Structure 1
Amino acid sequence: MRGSTAGLGDSLAGASKTNGALLEFADVVFASVIVAPAVVTYWKSTWSLMDLYVLTAWPVASAAACAAFGLCCDLVFCVFQTQLSEHLRPARRKLLYYVVSRMYTCVAGAACVGAWRGVWNLLNECTGDSARTLMSTTVAATLSLAALRTLRNICAAPFAVAVDSPEDYFNVPTMFRTSSRETALYILDCVFSVTVVGSLVVFVWRGSWALLDIFLYPHDQVKSFWTSLVVGYSLVILTFAAQAPVRWAVAKLQGAPRLLLADVYHLISFFATVNVWRGIWGLLDVYFFPDSPKLSNWSSHIASLVLLILLNCSNSILVRGVYIDAEEPAGDCVEFPCHYLRLFFQKERVKNRRKTLETTSAANARKVEEASVPLQIPEEKV
């Protein structure tokens, strides 16, 4: 769900300003209209299926089981990410890589949803759902993430699209960026990243979502969900529109003011995100086979997952890795990782350049070879 933009600016260079602006606009539309609804649909359907099948008679045990399953899987995938990257490469066995990598996404996606559902519901059972409690836990979690410089991790689609590229398919950045060779420190780093930072992100989402349930038309759910959707997408448009001036301002600042501006910008994008998610989530419950929850959730689960796999951005459903606030240079730290079409056309340009270079090299080699052949002078007839 999250991502970094480090190095993307250089890799996307080479296109004209007009083409670049058009591709950027197309990426924003693609992330907002296609990827975000598909990701929300996957999460909603998977969450609801767990409600239907996982220890339904015992809410606390159900939440604990989901949390244990999800956090353990997330930790295993984080610890063994280097081994997965080394042994699963398309250059070795392309078909095996494709099948195993997509199975990894399916398991990791279910684990992410399970971890969130478990922590979310356990928090509901332990702290209740009063407005005062929700406000205090949300503010505390937000300040904790800001103090750790990890506030940007609360953002998700439509402000992040994870392309399924072989180079970093299994990559899970950890909080302290320790090397896998430092076994003990690396495992502790993975545990902290998955459990502490991940749980704080859940706290912020749960509190913000529940506060919207309390204050935004609580007696008219349909109106509440539609309002969330409209407000969310309106803020999405404003946030993307403000990206250029915010990037310019962040590039001019240094130190604490730069970090503060980046955090405020990410908080605004998060408020847009949580409204979009709540709107789509609630409207699916209202309009998509409301009287047949199993049919509704199974069909939407399969359709959304298959769509994202075919679009080559299925890793957008995963919540993994810890990204540090303002870690990129200049204004790149407030650029959202929505580079789907731009990366595609960049790869095509690279392929065309390689083909041109190979053709030119082959032609030059033929010329050299022809020039090196000695001239044959025919013998005169006697």
Structure 2
Amino acid sequence: MEVETATNERPRWRQFLWRCLDGFICIFILAPLVVLYWRGSFQLLDYYVYPRYPHPYYPVVPDSTGLKISGAITLVIGICGTIVANVLQTILHQRIHEKRRGVLQLFLKRIYTYTFGWIIVCHWRGVFRVWDGFTGTDVFSGIYCFSSGVILLILLKSFRNVVAPPLVTVSDFDKNYFFIKTRFRRKPWGAAYFLDTIFSIVVPGSLVAFVWRGQWSILDHVFKRDSMVESFVISAALGFGIVVMLFALQDQAGKVSAAMERRGWTWAKIAFEDLFFYIAALGAVNIWRSIWGLCDELLLKGQWALSNWVCHIVGGFGTMLLLHGNSVLVRDVQIDGEYPNGEGCRFFSKSLTFFENRADKQKRKQQQTNGIPAEIPDISTAAVDEKPVKIYRKLPAAKPADVGVQSDQLEHLLSGNRVRDIPTIEITQYEDRRPSIRRLSV
């Protein structure tokens, strides 16, 4: 059982500093590395996969048969490869995550990430290039692509999937490293799961690429300048500004979402969260466009293959060295409104805090292994104003001889003068939470 108490709560200044460092690493280090990886991989496929149209990069030649064929090849590879990864997720989890340890596990995960990374990029490049081949690259093509993606994702309650790094990062030590969520959340076996997998990849997975391609194309025309470097600098200023602002406002947005949920305004909550994530996606697309474009203009210009190999290697190995190689993948299908209590407005983007929480868990696990009982602090002096309090803290695994001890500890916890008259005390288990006392309204 997990009991959170105030005595071990991390100081607020430390929480604030930790979150600022977290945001800085995710926004200004991890995200650029992910963009470098994608830029290199995406354009290497342009360069090597059926390069039968006049120029492998800019400008893309509309209605090119070679472009359509090249896009279709990578689209098929991406969809089929992602289906295989979904089908094998349980086997990979059991054979690698559960049975392997240390350097071998990390190495095998790296192989998985590198291989799957190419597959994901193939899928997205296929969507982009097929659209380019059939509709061209003018602003109307971007508008059609963007609007169709947005409308269909909203109807499927899957719009929140449009965000990407720096708003989403995944650690290489994530316990769900190989698991991939599908739209209808089927268990990973049987025909129903296979159909769910195909649908999740072909429909929501591709529609997210629609939104990104459309928004990117629109920005290319909105920020069109004589100097492309100037255009990309404008995107960088806008993108980083939006993302930093939303990182600071995500807790307040979560409170608004939670308030709507308490009042039963489900659709209003979903609409608010989708709007929040649209603004977040706008910031992310601008960041990606700026870094990608500046590399096109400034990094070994004229030596396209070498420039993209440099990006691919630096981005891929850079994220792996930071133990966030899995952040280059686009896999899960999240459902709009599925997260309660405002969690739907909080970005799944952690670096330092993830490893700190992991170290805390390992420390508690080691204490339990060594037979050190969990401390239950005396909160008899806590000012709770006679309101119900939720108390959480991790106790050792219960053994026959320990049950009585735990009961005595809980009785002692509830015997303080200031706590005795509290109307209700609820003891619940929460995962991945630091100790703190939460006051609840009666």
User: TM-score, normalization: structure 2?
Assistant: 0.76
Q: 1:169 aligns with which of 173, 177, 187?
A: 177
- Residues 17-96 of structure 1 correspond to what in structure 2 (within 5 A)? 17-57=12-52, 58-89=66-97, 91-96=99-104
Alignment-derived partner of residue 292 in structure 1:
303
Higher helix share: 1
Alignment-derived partner of residue 107 in structure 2:
99
Deviations, residues 190-234 of structure 1 (Å, cap 9, x unaligned): 000111111111111111001111121244311111111111111
Shift of 1:95: 4.0
Q: 2:98 & 2:322 partners in 1: Cα distance?
A: 18
Residue 187 (1) aligns with residue 198 (2): no
Q: 2:154 aligns with which of 131, 146, 150?
A: 146
Q: 2:27 & 2:329 partners in 1: Cα distance?
A: 17
Alignment-derived partner of residue 283 in structure 2:
272
Shift of 1:129: 2.8
Shift of 1:143: 1.4
Q: 1:357 & 1:133 partners in 2: Cα distance?
A: 60
Residue 220 (1) aligns with residue 231 (2): no
Residue 250 (1) aligns with residue 245 (2): no
- Give the stretch that moved more between structures: 153-162 or 137-146: 137-146
Q: 1:220 & 1:288 partners in 2: Cα distance?
A: 16
Instruction: Assess if the C-alpha contact under 8 Å between 1:89 and 1:166 holds in 2.
Output: no
Residue 15 (1) aligns with residue 10 (2): yes
Alignment-derived partner of residue 389 in structure 2:
none
Deviations, residues 273-304 of structure 1 (Å, cap 9, x unaligned): 00000000000111111132222111221121
Shift of 1:88: 1.4
Alignment-derived partner of residue 382 in structure 2:
none
Instruction: Assess if the C-alpha contact under 8 Å between 2:239 and 2:283 holds in 1.
Output: yes
Alignment-derived partner of residue 231 in structure 1:
238
Q: 2:16 & 2:337 partners in 1: Cα distance?
A: 24
- Give the stretch that moved more between structures: 273-282 or 97-106: 97-106
Gaps of 5+ in 2: 53-65, 374-442
Q: 1:119 aligns with which of 118, 127, 133?
A: 127
CA 1:71–1:218: 2 relative to 1, 3 Å = farther
Q: 2:148 & 2:83 partners in 1: Cα distance?
A: 25
Q: 1:307 aligns with which of 318, 333, 338?
A: 318
Tell me the amino acid that sits aligned with residue 200 of structure 2: S
Shift of 1:18: 2.4
Q: What's the secondary structure of 2:187's corresponding residue?
A: coil
Instruction: Assess if the C-alpha contact under 8 Å between 2:338 and 2:344 holds in 1.
Output: yes
Tell me the amino acid that sits aligned with residue 201 of structure 1: V
Alignment-derived partner of residue 208 in structure 1:
215
Instruction: Assess if the C-alpha contact under 8 Å between 2:82 and 2:120 holds in 1.
Output: yes
Shift of 1:113: 0.7
CA 1:92–1:38: 2 relative to 1, 3 Å = closer
CA 1:23–1:346: 2 relative to 1, 3 Å = same
Tell me the amino acid that sits aligned with residue 142 of structure 1: V
Alignment-derived partner of residue 3 in structure 1:
none
Q: 2:155 & 2:203 partners in 1: Cα distance?
A: 13
Q: 2:367 & 2:290 partners in 1: Cα distance?
A: 49
Of all paired residues, the percent bearing the same amino acid is 32
Instruction: Assess if the C-alpha contact under 8 Å between 1:262 and 1:334 holds in 2.
Output: yes
Tell me the amino acid that sits aligned with residue 176 of structure 2: D
Tell me the amino acid that sits aligned with residue 114 of structure 1: C
Deviations, residues 100-151 of structure 1 (Å, cap 9, x unaligned): 2211111110111111111111011122333234213311210111111111
Tell me the amino acid that sits aligned with residue 30 of structure 2: V
CA 1:90–1:99: 2 relative to 1, 3 Å = farther
Instruction: Assess if the C-alpha contact under 8 Å between 1:90 and 1:97 holds in 2.
Output: no
CA 1:249–1:167: 2 relative to 1, 3 Å = same
- Residues 339-354 of structure 1 correspond to what in structure 2 (within 5 A)? 339-354=350-365
- Give the stretch that moved more between structures: 84-93 or 288-297: 84-93
Q: What's the secondary structure of 2:342's corresponding residue?
A: helix
Alignment-derived partner of residue 403 in structure 2:
none
Shift of 1:357: 4.8
Q: 2:182 & 2:197 partners in 1: Cα distance?
A: 6
Q: 1:336 aligns with which of 340, 347, 361?
A: 347
Q: 1:95 & 1:355 partners in 2: Cα distance?
A: 21
Alignment-derived partner of residue 378 in structure 1:
none
Q: 2:213 & 2:225 partners in 1: Cα distance?
A: 16
Q: 2:302 & 2:137 partners in 1: Cα distance?
A: 27
Shift of 1:68: 1.1
Gaps of 5+ in 1: 1-8, 363-382
Instruction: Assess if the C-alpha contact under 8 Å between 1:141 and 1:204 holds in 2.
Output: yes
Instruction: Assess if the C-alpha contact under 8 Å between 2:78 and 2:121 holds in 1.
Output: yes
Shift of 1:162: 0.7
